[in-house]
Protein backbone atom coordinates (compact mmCIF):
# COMPACT_ATOMS: atom_id res chain seq x y z
CA UNK A 1 0.00 0.00 0.00
CA UNK A 2 1.18 3.54 -0.69
CA UNK A 3 1.90 6.14 1.93
CA UNK A 4 -1.19 7.75 3.44
CA UNK A 5 -1.08 11.49 2.92
CA UNK A 6 -1.32 13.73 5.94
CA UNK A 7 -2.33 17.37 6.21
CA UNK A 8 1.29 18.27 6.91
CA UNK A 9 2.27 16.84 3.51
CA UNK A 10 0.38 19.73 1.93
CA UNK A 11 2.33 22.36 3.82
CA UNK A 12 5.68 22.54 2.01
CA UNK A 13 4.43 22.84 -1.58
CA UNK A 14 1.93 25.52 -0.53
CA UNK A 15 4.55 27.32 1.58
CA UNK A 16 7.03 27.34 -1.29
CA UNK A 17 4.39 28.53 -3.76
CA UNK A 18 3.37 31.56 -1.70
CA UNK A 19 6.98 32.43 -0.88
CA UNK A 20 7.73 32.47 -4.61
CA UNK A 21 4.77 34.82 -5.04
CA UNK A 22 6.35 37.27 -2.61
CA UNK A 23 4.43 36.41 0.55
CA UNK A 24 5.80 36.08 4.05
CA UNK A 25 4.53 32.71 5.23
CA UNK A 26 4.05 31.34 8.73
CA UNK A 27 2.32 28.16 9.91
CA UNK A 28 0.12 27.31 12.91
CA UNK A 29 -0.66 30.88 13.91
CA UNK A 30 -3.55 31.16 16.38
CA UNK A 31 -5.09 27.91 15.11
CA UNK A 32 -4.74 28.89 11.43
CA UNK A 33 -2.83 26.28 9.41
CA UNK A 34 -0.99 28.76 7.18
CA UNK A 35 -0.93 32.56 7.23
CA UNK A 36 0.61 34.49 4.34
CA UNK A 37 1.00 38.27 4.29
CA UNK A 38 1.72 40.58 1.39
CA UNK A 39 1.11 44.32 1.00
CA UNK A 40 -0.72 44.46 4.35
CA UNK A 41 -3.22 41.81 3.29
CA UNK A 42 -3.67 38.58 5.24
CA UNK A 43 -4.29 35.32 3.41
CA UNK A 44 -5.29 32.24 5.43
CA UNK A 45 -5.03 28.70 4.10
CA UNK A 46 -6.67 25.74 5.84
CA UNK A 47 -5.24 22.31 5.06
CA UNK A 48 -7.31 19.14 4.98
CA UNK A 49 -7.09 15.72 3.40
CA UNK A 50 -10.67 15.92 2.10
CA UNK A 51 -13.36 18.46 1.37
CA UNK A 52 -16.00 18.41 4.09
CA UNK A 53 -18.69 20.52 5.73
CA UNK A 54 -16.42 20.92 8.76
CA UNK A 55 -13.68 22.32 6.54
CA UNK A 56 -16.08 24.79 4.92
CA UNK A 57 -17.35 25.90 8.33
CA UNK A 58 -13.79 26.40 9.54
CA UNK A 59 -12.85 28.38 6.45
CA UNK A 60 -15.90 30.63 6.73
CA UNK A 61 -14.92 31.43 10.32
CA UNK A 62 -11.47 32.42 9.09
CA UNK A 63 -13.10 35.01 6.83
CA UNK A 64 -13.80 37.04 9.97
CA UNK A 65 -10.09 37.78 10.30
CA UNK A 66 -8.49 37.12 6.91
CA UNK A 67 -8.71 39.23 3.76
CA UNK A 68 -8.57 36.08 1.64
CA UNK A 69 -9.22 32.49 2.69
CA UNK A 70 -8.31 29.32 0.82
CA UNK A 71 -8.94 25.68 1.51
CA UNK A 72 -6.23 23.30 0.34
CA UNK A 73 -6.69 19.58 -0.36
CA UNK A 74 -4.93 16.88 -2.38
CA UNK A 75 -6.06 16.95 -6.00
CA UNK A 76 -8.85 14.37 -6.46
CA UNK A 77 -8.16 11.61 -8.96
CA UNK A 78 -11.67 11.07 -10.33
CA UNK A 79 -13.96 13.81 -9.01
CA UNK A 80 -12.81 16.68 -11.23
CA UNK A 81 -15.07 17.31 -14.22
CA UNK A 82 -18.12 15.63 -12.70
CA UNK A 83 -21.44 17.27 -11.84
CA UNK A 84 -20.59 16.85 -8.15
CA UNK A 85 -17.32 18.71 -8.68
CA UNK A 86 -19.11 21.57 -10.43
CA UNK A 87 -21.50 21.80 -7.48
CA UNK A 88 -18.58 21.93 -5.06
CA UNK A 89 -16.90 24.68 -7.07
CA UNK A 90 -20.13 26.68 -7.17
CA UNK A 91 -20.48 26.37 -3.39
CA UNK A 92 -16.92 27.58 -2.83
CA UNK A 93 -17.50 30.57 -5.11
CA UNK A 94 -20.79 31.27 -3.32
CA UNK A 95 -18.92 31.28 0.01
CA UNK A 96 -16.18 33.46 -1.53
CA UNK A 97 -13.52 30.88 -0.67
CA UNK A 98 -10.49 29.99 -2.74
CA UNK A 99 -9.41 26.44 -3.58
CA UNK A 100 -5.87 25.10 -3.78
CA UNK A 101 -5.24 21.63 -5.19
CA UNK A 102 -1.95 19.90 -4.44
CA UNK A 103 -0.67 17.03 -6.59
CA UNK A 104 1.29 14.85 -4.17
CA UNK A 105 2.97 12.76 -6.84
CA UNK A 106 6.57 13.77 -6.26
CA UNK A 107 6.26 16.97 -8.31
CA UNK A 108 4.24 18.86 -5.67
CA UNK A 109 2.32 20.82 -8.28
CA UNK A 110 0.00 23.58 -7.08
CA UNK A 111 -3.23 24.50 -8.87
CA UNK A 112 -5.60 27.30 -7.89
CA UNK A 113 -8.84 26.71 -9.84
CA UNK A 114 -10.77 29.14 -7.63
CA UNK A 115 -9.55 32.41 -6.14
CA UNK A 116 -11.45 34.07 -3.29
CA UNK A 117 -13.43 37.04 -4.57
CA UNK A 118 -16.84 38.66 -4.02
CA UNK A 119 -19.75 36.62 -5.35
CA UNK A 120 -22.24 38.46 -7.58
CA UNK A 121 -25.49 37.00 -6.30
CA UNK A 122 -27.69 39.13 -8.56
CA UNK A 123 -25.81 38.05 -11.68
CA UNK A 124 -26.12 34.42 -10.59
CA UNK A 125 -29.88 34.78 -10.11
CA UNK A 126 -30.21 36.49 -13.49
CA UNK A 127 -28.51 33.53 -15.19
CA UNK A 128 -31.04 31.22 -13.55
CA UNK A 129 -34.06 33.35 -14.49
CA UNK A 130 -35.32 30.83 -17.06
CA UNK A 131 -35.00 27.98 -14.56
CA UNK A 132 -37.10 29.95 -12.09
CA UNK A 133 -39.77 30.61 -14.72
CA UNK A 134 -39.94 26.89 -15.56
CA UNK A 135 -40.23 26.04 -11.87
CA UNK A 136 -43.07 28.51 -11.34
CA UNK A 137 -44.81 27.20 -14.47
CA UNK A 138 -44.50 23.65 -13.16
CA UNK A 139 -45.98 24.69 -9.80
CA UNK A 140 -48.92 26.39 -11.48
CA UNK A 141 -49.55 23.29 -13.60
CA UNK A 142 -50.13 21.02 -10.59
CA UNK A 143 -53.57 20.81 -9.01
CA UNK A 144 -52.90 18.70 -5.90
CA UNK A 145 -50.04 17.32 -3.81
CA UNK A 146 -49.65 13.63 -4.56
CA UNK A 147 -45.86 13.35 -4.36
CA UNK A 148 -43.88 12.55 -1.21
CA UNK A 149 -40.83 14.74 -0.74
CA UNK A 150 -37.55 12.80 -0.71
CA UNK A 151 -39.08 9.61 -2.12
CA UNK A 152 -37.25 7.51 -4.70
CA UNK A 153 -38.40 4.98 -7.26
CA UNK A 154 -41.96 6.31 -7.38
CA UNK A 155 -43.75 7.85 -10.34
CA UNK A 156 -43.89 11.59 -9.83
CA UNK A 157 -47.05 13.51 -10.59
CA UNK A 158 -45.76 16.36 -12.75
CA UNK A 159 -47.69 19.05 -14.59
CA UNK A 160 -47.04 17.12 -17.81
CA UNK A 161 -48.48 13.94 -16.32
CA UNK A 162 -51.51 15.87 -15.07
CA UNK A 163 -52.11 17.35 -18.53
CA UNK A 164 -51.83 13.86 -20.00
CA UNK A 165 -54.31 12.49 -17.45
CA UNK A 166 -56.73 15.32 -18.25
CA UNK A 167 -56.61 14.34 -21.93
CA UNK A 168 -56.98 10.66 -21.00
CA UNK A 169 -60.12 11.47 -19.01
CA UNK A 170 -61.63 13.25 -22.00
CA UNK A 171 -60.98 10.31 -24.29
CA UNK A 172 -62.23 7.85 -21.69
CA UNK A 173 -65.49 9.74 -21.27
CA UNK A 174 -66.25 10.62 -24.89
CA UNK A 175 -64.19 8.28 -27.06
CA UNK A 176 -61.73 9.12 -29.85
CA UNK A 177 -61.61 12.75 -30.99
CA UNK A 178 -59.30 15.43 -32.33
CA UNK A 179 -56.96 17.57 -30.27
CA UNK A 180 -59.06 20.63 -31.09
CA UNK A 181 -62.18 18.91 -29.77
CA UNK A 182 -60.39 17.79 -26.60
CA UNK A 183 -59.39 21.37 -25.74
CA UNK A 184 -63.08 22.25 -25.55
CA UNK A 185 -63.15 20.25 -22.31
CA UNK A 186 -60.58 22.47 -20.64
CA UNK A 187 -57.24 20.92 -21.61
CA UNK A 188 -54.29 23.21 -22.33
CA UNK A 189 -54.70 24.41 -25.91
CA UNK A 190 -50.94 24.97 -26.25
CA UNK A 191 -49.96 21.48 -25.11
CA UNK A 192 -52.75 19.06 -26.04
CA UNK A 193 -51.65 18.32 -29.61
CA UNK A 194 -48.00 17.97 -28.58
CA UNK A 195 -48.85 15.52 -25.79
CA UNK A 196 -50.99 13.41 -28.11
CA UNK A 197 -48.42 13.47 -30.89
CA UNK A 198 -45.42 12.60 -28.71
CA UNK A 199 -47.42 10.03 -26.72
CA UNK A 200 -44.62 9.89 -24.13
CA UNK A 201 -46.43 7.49 -21.78
CA UNK A 202 -48.01 5.35 -24.49
CA UNK A 203 -51.49 6.26 -23.28
CA UNK A 204 -52.89 7.24 -26.68
CA UNK A 205 -53.17 5.89 -30.20
CA UNK A 206 -53.94 7.54 -33.51
CA UNK A 207 -57.20 6.19 -34.90
CA UNK A 208 -57.16 8.24 -38.06
CA UNK A 209 -55.82 11.58 -39.24
CA UNK A 210 -56.02 14.07 -36.34
CA UNK A 211 -58.18 11.69 -34.27
CA UNK A 212 -56.79 10.06 -31.13
CA UNK A 213 -58.06 7.38 -28.78
CA UNK A 214 -57.17 6.06 -25.31
CA UNK A 215 -54.99 2.94 -25.16
CA UNK A 216 -55.20 0.20 -22.54
CA UNK A 217 -52.13 1.75 -20.87
CA UNK A 218 -54.02 5.03 -20.66
CA UNK A 219 -56.98 3.34 -19.01
CA UNK A 220 -54.67 1.73 -16.46
CA UNK A 221 -53.15 5.14 -15.76
CA UNK A 222 -56.57 6.47 -14.77
CA UNK A 223 -56.86 3.62 -12.28
CA UNK A 224 -53.33 4.30 -11.04
CA UNK A 225 -54.08 7.94 -10.25
CA UNK A 226 -57.72 7.85 -9.04
CA UNK A 227 -57.61 11.23 -7.27
CA UNK A 228 -56.59 13.06 -10.42
CA UNK A 229 -58.92 11.00 -12.59
CA UNK A 230 -61.86 11.98 -10.38
CA UNK A 231 -60.72 15.62 -10.26
CA UNK A 232 -60.56 15.94 -14.04
CA UNK A 233 -63.76 13.98 -14.55
CA UNK A 234 -65.55 16.48 -12.31
CA UNK A 235 -63.88 19.38 -14.12
CA UNK A 236 -64.95 18.05 -17.51
CA UNK A 237 -68.50 17.44 -16.30
CA UNK A 238 -68.68 21.00 -14.94
CA UNK A 239 -67.57 22.39 -18.31
CA UNK A 240 -70.65 20.80 -19.89
CA UNK A 241 -73.09 22.71 -17.69
Which CATH number belongs to the domain containing residue 54 in this structure?
A: 3.40.1350.10
Domain that holds residue 92: 7-121
Task: Answer whether residue 34 shows pLDDT above 50.
Answer: yes
Residue 136 lies in a domain: no
Identify whether residues 102 and 184 lie together within a single domain: no
Q: Which residues contact 8 (CB under 8 A, 6 or more apart)?
A: 47
Identify whether residues 83 and 173 lie together within a single domain: no
Q: Which residues contact 148 (CB under 8 A, 6 or more apart)?
A: 154
Residue 138 lies in a domain: no
Average pLDDT over residues 98-113: 84
How much is the mean pLDDT over the chain?
90
Which of 70, 91, 121 is the last residue before a domain boundary?
A: 121
Range 23-31 contact pairs with CB under 8 angstroms and sequence separation of 24 or more: none
Residue 144 lies in a domain: no
Identify whether residues 43 and 89 lie together within a single domain: yes
Identify whether residues 12 and 77 lie together within a single domain: yes
Q: How confident is the model at residue 225 (pLDDT cuts 50, 70, 90)?
A: very high
Share of the chain above pLDDT 90, in %: 67
Residue 127 lies in a domain: no
Which of 121, 139, 172 is the last residue before a domain boundary?
A: 121
Residue 154 lies in a domain: no
Identify whether residues 12 and 110 lie together within a single domain: yes
Instruction: Find the CATH number of the domain harbouring 178.
Output: 1.10.10.10
Identify whether residues 39 and 112 lie together within a single domain: yes
From the list 175, 165, 181, the residue with the least C-alpha distance to 218 is 165
Which of 121, 149, 178 is the last residue before a domain boundary?
A: 121
Identify whether residues 117 and 163 lie together within a single domain: no
Of 4-13, 28-37, 97-106, least confident by mean pLDDT is 4-13
Identify whether residues 96 and 199 lie together within a single domain: no
Predicted confidence at residue 144, as pLDDT, reads 82
Residue 208 lies in a domain: yes
Identify whether residues 116 and 182 lie together within a single domain: no
Query: What burial class does residue 118 get, using C-beta atoms within 10 Å of its C-beta: 0-12 exposed, 13-18 middle, 19+ buried?
Result: exposed
Residue 17 lies in a domain: yes
CA dist 228 and 234 (Å) reads 10
| Structural domain count of the chain | 2
Residue 106 lies in a domain: yes
Identify whether residues 171 and 112 lie together within a single domain: no
| Number of CB atoms found within 10 A of residue 130's CB | 9
Average pLDDT over residues 101-125: 86
Average pLDDT over residues 101-111: 79
CA dist 42 and 62 (Å) reads 11
Question: Which ranges of the chain does DSSP label H, i.e. alpha helix?
Answer: 11-20, 53-62, 83-94, 121-127, 129-140, 159-174, 179-183, 192-198, 216-224, 226-239
Amino acid sequence: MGKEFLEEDLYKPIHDFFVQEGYEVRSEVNFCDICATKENQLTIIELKRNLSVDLLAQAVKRQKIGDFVYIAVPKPKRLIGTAKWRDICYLLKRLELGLILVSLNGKNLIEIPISPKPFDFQASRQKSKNKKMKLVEELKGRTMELNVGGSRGRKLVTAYRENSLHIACCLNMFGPMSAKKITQYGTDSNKTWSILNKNYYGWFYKQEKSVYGLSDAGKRALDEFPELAQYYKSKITSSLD
